[in-house]
Structures are given as structure tokens and as C-alpha cells.
Amino acid sequence: WVAGGEGAKDFGAPKNLALALFVLLVVIGVQRFAPAVLGRIAVLVGIVAGVLVAIPFGFTDFGGVGDADWAGISTPFHFGAPTFEAG
């Protein structure tokens, strides 16, 4: 995901790597230097900061959000029943 996602036409582009580095630095910075309350949610803070930086640079596409239903019901075991294999 850091490089832009498998099959992306701009896979490994420096802009994708720069955004990932920014998010990593935010997470580490919040974890190390923020109050304990924020330190516990450092990953969440990093994700929010990354999205807020990605929006003005055109990394995001919210086109599908407008077409989505407001609420939905998930089908139980949509991908099949859970299995357990020992060994």
C-alpha cells in the first residue's frame, strides 16, 4: 500500500512514499511526544492526518461514497463457513 497499491499505474511513485513517510512520522511523533491519551491512539491520529494531507494533493477519490447506501445489512458467512484445521 505504501507504493500505491498493486497494479497502480503510479506504483512506487515518490509522492506515495512521501505520504507514507509522513504518516509514519506523525504516528511516531504522537506516540513519543504527545500526552498519554493521544499516544494510545497514535495510529488513528496518523490515519486522520494522512487523509487530511492526501485530500488536497488529489490522492483520494470519494466518488463511490456518494453512491453508497446509508446503511446496509451484511450477509452472515458471505465467504463461507469458518473452518478449523489443526496441524
The pLDDT tens digits of the residues spanning 5-54 come to 788 888 888 998 999 999 999 999 999 999 999 999 999 999 999 999 99
Cell of 1: 500500500
Classify residue 86: in a domain, yes or no. no
- Which structural domain, as residue segments, surrounds residue 27? 15-55
At 66 the pLDDT is: 85
Ramachandran quadrant class, 12 (left: phi over 0; alpha: psi -120 to 50; beta: rest): left
Classify residue 27: in a domain, yes or no. yes
Average pLDDT over residues 74-79: 89
Which DSSP letter does residue 5 get? Answer: -
- For the chain, how many structural domains are there in total? 1
At 49 the pLDDT is: 98
At 21 the pLDDT is: 96
Classify residue 66: in a domain, yes or no. no
At 11 the pLDDT is: 85
